[in-house]
Amino acid sequence: MTKRRVVVTGLGVVAAPGVGVDEFWKGLSVAPGPGPLGVSDWDPETRGIAKREARRLDRFSQFAMVATAEAVEMAGGLPHEPSRVGVSIGTGIGGLESLEKLIYASDDPEPRVSPLWIPMMMCNAAAATISIKYGFVGPATTPVVACAAGAQAILDAFRNIQWGYCDAAVAGGSEGAISPPTILGFSSARALSPSGYARPFDLHRDGFVLGEGCGIMVLEEREAALARGANLLAEIVGAASTADAHHITAPHPEGAGAEQAMRLALQDADLTPADVAYVNAHGTGTDLNDRTEGTVMHRLFGDDQPPISSIKGTTGHGLGASGAIEAVATVLAIVRGELPPNVGLSELDPEIPVTHVVRAPEAWTPGVAVSNSFGFGGHNTVLVFAPPEAL
């Protein structure tokens, strides 16, 4: 079977730098205050979700609904046969807000428990709600692979279209897990930044900062998108996922799984490392992740490295949403002809062998762009994008 080509025709985003593609892009260049980096003043009603509907949706599902609405509108709708449209929304934790309500209620001698709290806390709630709202009856799935979940959801949708199971898909990741228990848990694991600032690849980085939000893409089979006159934003030309099989939180010390994922993704795209013009790095701001990822990129590209940047200095680490938010930023870099900066970097760690970290918004000639996502448990997912006319 011939692999079909898959393009991006719509984008939607909810994140700390901004809600909506335009505000988000502007916010990627603005250094925030100390974290956690939540979505400020979130009001689902002002974002198009009716009050009654909002009460039935956990925060992470609300984010997904708003980002999906933007992406579908940008795509000009999805006038495909509903059975040929899939939904894939990854998450790391799911409806934590609703789970906490249920736990706190259980301590009350006369608990008042909403019958909706169980469906609201389910990890698949965002994907199911989107499917129900839009009537998409193709496969609706929810990858739960920690910080790689959003990217894995995009990969899964890409494969479904590529191999003919769908003609279009809504894909991405969503997370709304900033809460005292989450902060306590990550702090006890010594993963969070005590300073509250994410500083990817910096000599003085001290951990990641919690973020939240959602990134959504509308993906379509290229010929079907062209036939209906859709605006092609980018093309997904390759993808891969691997496992470290090493440790439940720490990356493989040599980055073997991450490197294999990057090599396989480029091989899937029929490209070589020399073809890559930009890497949107996972770059969490933790000691091990940044050093390992930098080492992997040096092995892959040598001294002739493409520019790289991590956007977690402005978005925080959105856990299961991070890969999708970063994939949206990668496509926007292609669309807007500008690379997003690595906010928080003041002094590059000399032990990280990278040569070109983007420190301020940087003009470029859009080309092949790689988006890395590496999650707890050793999950590695890599997406490869290109301008729609490039290949």
Compute how many other C-beta atoms are within 10 angstroms of the C-beta atom of residue 222: 18
Phi, psi at 301, each rounded to 5°: -105, -15
**CB contact burial 194-216 (16+ within 10 A = b; e otherwise):** eebbbbbbbeebbbbbbbbbbbb
Which one of the listed residues 80, 252, 282, 379 is annotated catalytic? 282
Q: Is 123 a catalytic residue?
A: no
Among residues 80, 166, 214, 317, which one is catalytic?
Answer: 317
CB 207 within 8 A of CB 190: yes
Q: Is 298 a catalytic residue?
A: no
What span, in angstroms and rounded, lies between the C-alpha atoms of 108 and 91?
A: 30
* Catalytically annotated residue among 147, 214, 252, 379: 147
C-alpha 59/C-alpha 65 separation (Å) is: 10
Cα distance between residue 99 and residue 121, in whole Å? 6
Does 204 qualify as catalytic in the annotation? no
Residue 238 in contact with residue 323, Cβ under 8 Å? no
Q: For residue 174, give the H/E element and its range.
A: strand 168-175
In 34-115, alpha helices (H)? 51-54, 59-74, 96-106
Active site residues: 147, 282, 317
